[in-house]
Amino acid sequence: MAENNGKTYEVIILGGGPAGLTAGLYTSRARLHTLLIEGGLSGGQMTTTEMIENYPGFPEGVTGEELSRLMEEQAKRFGLEIIHQEIVEVKGDEPLKCVRTSEASYSCKSVIISTGAEYRKLGVPGEQEFTGRGVSFCATCDGAFFRDQKVIVAGGGDSALTEALFLTRFVKELTIVHRRDALRATKIYQERAFANPKIHFLWDSVVQEIKGDKVVESVLVKNVKTGEVTEQKTEGVFLFVGLEPRTHFLKGVIELDGGGYILTNENGETSVKGIFAAGDCRKKLLRQVATAVGDGATAAFAAEKYLEGSE
């Protein structure tokens, strides 16, 4: 395991979504020596969102890929250093913290955790086996592969409906399977989904099993009220049934809630001094790009004040 040549950063940011990139913009602009570590693409889940319509300043909307590019470009302009490595461990010892990745170890005076969240798995037979062979968690990534085909979308929140609406550009028919008898999504998404002739609904239902040979061919759907199980022919299954925070490497390091979300105060401070959290990985009411950006700015400012006080 390579060491970071004795270099100590003032701030290390874990995760390069909107919260992390905003935090990096603020700390770098404050002339704090900052390293951002991201395991995947800069922008996080934002990069796989076809169109973001509710981020201020873009009246016609903006693609997630474009907004990610602009945020990264702006942060780098002020000197933010970005590397792409998998985060393995964080040690919150004082006075220096240690971040270990799959490739090296890095020392710093403060840490901002903005690792976000990922789509929750159903945990049903066939889900893992057919991932990449008909099972997908990203309509933007895989929608074009299902041109003129019939697909299932599991979920009833904003993600499920926005992804379903995007899929209608390609698919012949789409059925939304939702465990309740009403959707949880924002009203404007509901209106668009109900008005789309390609979209149908299976209410009070859950996907029980995904079946096929080499690729997905059907799903077993169970009605949660009657217990009846039916087989639905389909060529693709898109799963949007909630989020799980990417905080597995933080157990025993800082305080988490029962769902694994990071507990913070209003300033993004965690249970360990010098460690802050921002964005979808922390316990909060609303998980949107706009709130992630606000979190990132707040955590960066709190980290700056912490460093001033520790000198």
Helix (H, G, I), strand (E, B) or coil at 152: strand
Residue type at 76?
K
Kind plus residue range of the DSSP H or E element containing 36: strand 34-37
Is residue 142 annotated as a catalytic residue, yes or no? yes
**Which residue in the list 98, 108, 141, 204 is annotated as catalytic?**
141
Kind plus residue range of the DSSP H or E element containing 216: strand 216-223
CB 261 within 8 Å of CB 113: no
What angle separates helix 158-167 from helix 187-195, to the nearest 10 degrees?
30
Read off the tokens for 305. 């004040």
Is residue 138 annotated as a catalytic residue, yes or no? yes
**Which residue in the list 142, 158, 280, 295 is annotated as catalytic?**
142
Is residue 141 annotated as a catalytic residue, yes or no? yes
Please work out, in degrees rounded to the nearest 5, the angle formed at the alpha carbon of residue 241 by the alpha carbons of 266 and 195: 105
d(CA 188, CA 170): 21
Q: Which of 194, 108, 113, 99 is nearest to 156 (CA)?
A: 194
d(CA 287, CA 302): 20
Handedness of CA 201, 237, 195, 159 (dihedral sign): positive
Token pair 């060491």 is found at 3
**Which residue in the list 93, 108, 138, 181 is annotated as catalytic?**
138
Q: What are the residue numbers of the active site?
A: 138, 141-142
